[in-house]
Structure 1
Amino acid sequence: MNLILEEIRNQNQKAFKTLFNNHFEELVVYANGYLFQMDSSKDIVQEVYIYIWENANKIEIKTNFKGYLYSMVRNRCFNYLKSIKVTDDLAFLEFNINIINEDVFDSTLEEDKEKVYHQILKIIDSLPDKMRKIVQLKFLHNYKYSEIAKELDISINTVKTQLKRAKFKIIQMVTIILILLQIRQ
């Protein structure tokens, strides 16, 4: 594997393409385990490859190259999660309810808006136990991150990450519901 890095240092595009083809998909899956957003996961992995191509001469690997790739992806995922901090307000739930109120539906479809709202509640109920508990503590009981962390004996970063993942899952499911309702019309 370190031979591939040596070839990339020599600007061997074929070696770089081989590295990309051999590991891109598995690295995207790995990144998606942190982000739960396929597009962002692909972007991060592509950034790692760009960095390797542009900085191959500066890279010194003390272990193995594959481990280095995974470490780079993991670190960029953490940086990405830090950059999109989960907010302290009800923004993600409000976002989903506001989608319903936009011009997606005619005003005559109040029953559809009500259905989607109830679907959001069902989606929250279907979240994994710890994630659901965090969402409930945050948005039903107005706990602060630190209070949730203390209550559940987890870190504040875990609380933020779980809220981010919950937001993504809720948005995905609401989008599917909205599409199905539009198809029905």
Structure 2
Amino acid sequence: MNNHLLIVQIKKKDTVAFKRCYDLFFKDLVVYANRYLSDFSVSEDVVQEVFVYIWEHSKKIEIKSSLKSYLFVMVKNRCLNHLKSINITDNEDYLKYSQSLIDEVEVSSLTEDNNGLYLKVLEVVDKMPLNMQEIFKLKFIENYKYIEIAEELNISLNTVKTQLKRAKVKIKESLVVSVFYLIIINFFA
């Protein structure tokens, strides 16, 4: 069934055509919505709302482009409205929002057992400034306490805390993409 015929059938409230449309586009629309929202459950809700709207307003809907384009634009607009409703208005807010959705990365719990994530963290650590690398490795690989790191490197305790905090931020920022990739893979598995 081509998209034009699908639209005509949906306008006639054909449930088989509507289910076909849903099955055809739902997963791709959720992945697309998640690019904006960084939360699969909210993304699914947004896509569900789009399909409910289409079903409820099927007789009034005028699709001048392709059905696929129409659906993607609707999802994008709903995502942007959702972000506005929670006061996400710029890229910095979006980054904070995305990071808040990822569970706090407890670096000390990373082991070679969860190999992919462990290696990704080590990659990020290798790109950090040398002083930050050293502090990070002493804390999370050598299990030094904050005070021991400060004494070992002859720096203040506040410097140790600040450097570790910055290191965690760098790790979280770089893992955002990796974690979402894993979520996507698990979602479709």
1:168 aligns to 2:170 (yes or no) = no
Aligned mate of 1:67, from 66, 69, 72: 69
For residues 17 and 173 of structure 1, the distance between their equivalents in structure 2, rounded to whole angstroms, comes to 39
Q: Mapping of 1:76-115 within 5 angstroms?
A: 76-85=78-87
Q: How far does residue 8 in structure 1 lie from its aligned partner after superposition?
A: 0.9
For residues 134-160 of structure 1, give each alpha carbon's deviation from its aligned partner in whole angstroms, at most 9, with x where no partner exists. Answer: xxxxxxxxxxxxxxxxxxxxxx61122
> What is the RMSD of the two structures over their aligned residues, measured on CA atoms?
2.0
Aligned mate of 2:92, from 151, 159, 162: 159
Larger Rg: 2
- Which SS does the other structure have where 1:60 is aligned? coil
Q: Which amino acid aligns with 1:16?
A: F
Q: Normalization by structure 2: what TM-score?
A: 0.52
For residues 22 and 104 of structure 2, the distance between their equivalents in structure 1, rounded to whole angstroms, comes to 32
For residues 2 and 79 of structure 1, the distance between their equivalents in structure 2, rounded to whole angstroms, comes to 28
For residues 45 and 37 of structure 1, the distance between their equivalents in structure 2, rounded to whole angstroms, comes to 12
- Which SS does the other structure have where 2:63 is aligned? coil
Q: Identity over the aligned pairs, expressed in percent?
A: 41
Unaligned 5+ segments in structure 1 are 87-155, 178-185
- Which SS does the other structure have where 2:60 is aligned? coil
Q: Which structure has more RCO (C-alpha within 8 Å, separation ≥ 6)?
A: 1
For residues 25 and 83 of structure 1, the distance between their equivalents in structure 2, rounded to whole angstroms, comes to 24
Unaligned 5+ segments in structure 2 are 109-189
Aligned residues: 106
Q: Which amino acid aligns with 1:66?
A: K
Q: How far does residue 174 in structure 1 lie from its aligned partner after superposition?
A: 5.9
Partner of residue 167, structure 2: none
For residues 143-181 of structure 1, give each alpha carbon's deviation from its aligned partner in whole angstroms, at most 9, with x where no partner exists. Answer: xxxxxxxxxxxxx61122112112112xx2369x9xxxx
Q: Which amino acid aligns with 2:76?
A: R
For residues 63 and 11 of structure 1, the distance between their equivalents in structure 2, rounded to whole angstroms, comes to 20
Q: Normalization by structure 1: what TM-score?
A: 0.53
Aligned mate of 1:24, from 12, 26, 32: 26
For residues 7 and 32 of structure 1, the distance between their equivalents in structure 2, rounded to whole angstroms, comes to 29
For residues 74 and 84 of structure 1, the distance between their equivalents in structure 2, rounded to whole angstroms, comes to 16
Task: Point out 4+ residue stretches in structure 1 off by more than 3 angstroms.
Answer: none
- Which SS does the other structure have where 2:64 is aligned? coil
For residues 158 and 70 of structure 1, the distance between their equivalents in structure 2, rounded to whole angstroms, comes to 21
